[in-house]
Amino acid sequence: MLKTVDELATEFGGLEGRRVLVRSDLNVPLDGTRITDDGRVRASVPTILDLSRRGARVVVAAHLGRPEGKPDPAYSLAPVAGRLAELLDIPARQATDTVGESARATVDGLKPGEVAVLENVRFEPGETSKVDAERGRFADRLATLADAFVSDGFGVVHRKQASVYDVAQLLPHAAGGLVLDEVAVLRRLTEQPDRPYVVVLGGSKVSDKLGVIDSLLARADRLLIGGGMMFTFLLAQGIEVGRSLVEPDHVDAVRRSIALAADSGVDLLLPTDVVVAPEISAEASPSVVAVDQIPGDQLGLDIGPATADRFRAAIEDARTVFWNGPMGVFELPPFAAGTRAVAEALTTVDGLTVVGGGDSAAAIRSLGFADDQFGHVSTGGGASLEYLEGKTLPGLAVLDD
């Protein structure tokens, strides 16, 4: 069972004055220092506020991007901590390091109800180390900053990392409300989803999503494939895809998935037309071609309009939909129509719709949709996929007691 913050508080006889380390997922897309989608920051606010209102001295740990285990100003959490402070509307102090002198002084200076944000945990090589002892050493230092740990970064619970996994072994712990909400929704997708259950997959990496495809084929009624990953599927069927994104190493696995879909009676819908352009640029002049007519010197950057219509029709009568991965390079307007069509179709569904994935969530917002037009917008892409795949997520397993 995952313990709640309420239960943790009871254990302590109240959290007033206690130092509580919260692992949040503040890994937002940035354009320089400008946050282009603050969804994850917003999603992190309720747990931090809850702890603050209980009088805890709240210490927030999070990562941003992939710095190489050392301080790198380009990956400083400062702009994100600034946004968090605005949203919290209570004092939030920023440490200039993760577990060093600044972190210690900042945490020591906290009054009950105040919040400190540590620098990017990935500035420390121990955070992501594969060596248990290295992660353990960093986790030890994190643990000295707190009396209890609350795991609220759903987007990272599939990672065996120091601030997610190891530190939970060192401190009394609980799952934050965000993690509990996310798990509750994903559980509904794995236990008796209302049918038809439609899964839409896109995005850039087949390799990330292959594992989940096979387990989804055992549960879903229809599987729709778009985005960059469609080209590996087309390649697996002997179709030439020009300069489109492909992962040739995964062609065999994709072929097996296609056969498995046929065997299990799942409708596998692959695009029939595609938007192509000579380059990935908003200025490129796009055209629509059949999937077997992709010019050798061009790349496919969105599903075509006929495919978008088929996908829309396959989604509209669903009672459950899980969608991960944009249908095209939605960041550029000429290639956003497929993603928009799928998003629109989801908003008409009478049932549970779940959008998972950092880029997918950013896509719906940047296309002008509101979160409440969907049943649930998950903050975690990889984490939700691994959950649906039936894998044990280290960051959840470690909380289970």
Q: Count interface residues toward Mg ion (CB under 5 A).
A: 2
Q: How far is the CB of 308 from ligand ADP (least distance, A)?
A: 13
Residue 329 interacts, among ligand ADP, Mg ion, none and using kind-specific CB cut-offs from 5 to 8 Å, with ligand ADP
CB burial of residue 64 (10 Å; 0-12, 13-18, 19+): buried
What six digits make up the tokens of 170? 């060192």
In the complex with Mg ion, which residue's Cβ is closer, 277 or 363?
A: 363
Single out the residue of 359, 361, 387, 395 in contact with Mg ion (rule: CB under 5 A).
359
Nearer to ligand ADP, 97 or 292 (CB): 292
Picked from Mg ion, ligand ADP, none, the partner binding residue 188 (CB below 5 to 8 A depending on kind) is none
CB-nearer residue toward ligand ADP: 176 or 325: 325
Return the one option of Mg ion, ligand ADP, none that residue 331 interacts with (CB less than 5 to 8 A, by type). Answer: ligand ADP
User: Which of ligand ADP, Mg ion, none does residue 389 bind to, with CB < 5 to 8 Å depending on kind?
Assistant: none
Q: How far is the CB of 83 from ligand ADP (least distance, A)?
A: 20
Give the chain as a 3 state SS string: CCCCHHHHHHHHCCCCCCEEEEECCCCCCEECCEECCCHHHHHHHHHHHHHHHCCCEEEEECCCCCCCCCCCHHHCCHHHHHHHHHHHCCCEEECCCCCCHHHHHHHHCCCCCCEEECCCHHHCCCCCCCCHHHHHHHHHHHHCCCCEEEECCHHHCCCCCHHHHHHHHCCCEEECHHHHHHHHHHHHHHCCCCCCEEEEECCCCHHHHHHHHHHHHCCCCEEEECCCCHHHHHHHCCCCCCCCCCCHHHHHHHHHHHHHHHHCCCEEECCCEEEEECCCCCCCCCEEEEHHHCCCCCEEEEECHHHHHHHHHHHHCCCEEEEECCCCCCCCHHHCHHHHHHHHHHHCCCCEEEEECHHHHHHHHHCCCCHHHCCEECCCCHHHHHHHHCCCCHHHHCCCC
**Between residues 98 and 379, which has the closer beta carbon with respect to Mg ion?**
379
Rounded CA separation 260/212 (Å): 13
Minimum distance of ligand ADP from residue 25's CB (angstroms)? 13
Catalytic residues: 40, 205, 358, 382
| Complex with Mg ion: residue 353 or 384, whichever CB lies closer | 384
**Binds 378: which of Mg ion, ligand ADP, none (CB < 5-8 Å by kind):** none
Note whether 6 and 140 are within 8 A (CB): no
Minimum CB distance to Mg ion, residue 358 (Å):
5
| CB 123 to ligand ADP: min, Å | 23
| Bridge partners of residue 223, in order along the sequence | 199, 268
Contact 361, 377 (CB under 8 A): yes
Q: Which stretch binds Mg ion (CB under 5 A): 19-27, 157-165, 350-358, 393-401?
A: 350-358
153 binds, among ligand ADP, Mg ion, none (CB under 5 to 8 A by kind): none
Name which of residues 5 to 34 contact Mg ion (CB under 5 A). Answer: none
**What residues from 381 to 400 belong to the interface with Mg ion (CB under 5 A)?**
none
Nearest to Mg ion of 273, 359 (CB atom): 359
| Min CB(357)–Mg ion separation in Å | 6
Q: Which does 193 bind (CB under 5 to 8 A by kind): ligand ADP, Mg ion, none?
A: none
Name the packing angle between helices 251-263 and 206-217 (round to 10°). 20
Which CB sits closer to ligand ADP, 298 or 324?
324
Binding footprint of ligand ADP on the chain (CB under 6 A):
202-205, 227-228, 245, 300-301, 324-326, 328-329, 331, 357-360, 381
Binding region for Mg ion (CB under 5 A) out of 118-126, 190-198, 238-246, 357-365:
357-365
- Beta carbon of residue 201, minimum distance to ligand ADP (angstroms, whole number): 9
Region from 100-108, 146-154, 296-304, 356-364 binding Mg ion, contact rule CB under 5 A: 356-364
Kindly calculate the radius of gyration of the chain based on its CA atoms and give it in whole angstroms. Answer: 22
Which residues bind to Mg ion, rule: CB under 5 A? Answer: 358-359
